[in-house]
Amino acid sequence: MLLINFKTYEEAEGEKAVEIAKIAAAISKESSKRVAVVPNFVDLKEVSEIIETFAPHVDPLEPGSHTGHTIPAIVDFLKGVVLNHSEYPMLIKDIEAAVQMAKEEGLETVICANNVAVARAVATFEPTYVAVEPPGLIGGDVSVSTAKPDIIKEAVKVVKPKSKLLVGAGVKTKKDVEKAVELGADGVFVASGVVKAKDVRLTIKELVDGLGR
């Protein structure tokens, strides 16, 4: 899977979010490869009508008096949720609870991990995916598959077969994806490499091509 995080970039909000979603959906259909996106909360509903969509976070709470929180039951129309991103870290106990509640709503779960030790811990909750992203490489020009291939190798050992493995941080080219898949990853988690690309369509296509046949 290619999972594209829109974060709160100006290049991926409102009409621009919709446009990226349409491009990604078309490439997914053409290639028969899975592509999904993680928009900001305001754009979730509209984007989810175009392509598989994940919420950028949920709180492990039941419906009730929780002003300002987003709970799994509210986003049950989506494909899944992302948890514990390095920009929105969670306590382990809250991650476990959120995974269970998301599963009860029929949602897939992607848990981010900044190292192999965290990946090992969260894999025990059996999420759909664990996404390993070394923080020092996020948003940079050197990919995790080039700079720290051993992290991917070790993550494969602790995550699979309980969950599938995504890797991210600095992933921007077809070669970056090919190397990650070669090392055992099931896909990549990207953000600025796509959202800020001069040619979004070409970039998504190249990354999808890197997933192989």
Percent of the chain surpassing pLDDT 90: 87
pLDDT reading at 143 higher than 70? yes
- In one-letter notation, the amino acid at residue 189 is F
43-51: average pLDDT: 98
How many beta carbons lie within 10 A of that of residue 198, not counting itself? 6
Phi and psi for 53 in degrees, rounded to 5?
A: -130, 140
Question: Catalytic residue among 13, 96, 108, 133, which?
Answer: 133
85 is a catalytic site residue: yes
Task: Give the tens place of pLDDT for each residue, 105-123.
Answer: 999 999 999 999 999 999 9
Assign 3-state DSSP to the chain and report helix, strand, coil percentages, each to 5.
Answer: 45, 15, 40
How many beta carbons lie within 10 A of that of residue 110, not counting itself? 26
Question: Catalytic residue among 13, 85, 154, 206, which?
Answer: 85
Task: Give the tens place of pLDDT for each residue, 177-194.
Answer: 999 999 999 999 999 999
Task: Give the tens place of pLDDT for each residue, 68-118.
Answer: 999 999 999 999 999 999 999 999 999 999 999 999 999 999 999 999 999
On whether the pTM is more than 0.75, the answer is yes
Q: Which of 5, 145, 60 is nearest to 132 (CA)?
A: 145
Mean pLDDT of the chain: 94
pLDDT for position 51: 98
Token pair of 64, please? 């009730």
pLDDT reading at 9 higher than 80? yes
Q: Which of 46, 50, 57, 49 is nearest to 5 (CA)?
A: 57
CATH architecture label of 2-209 = Alpha-Beta Barrel (3.20)
133 is a catalytic site residue: yes
How many beta carbons lie within 10 A of that of residue 4, not counting itself? 27
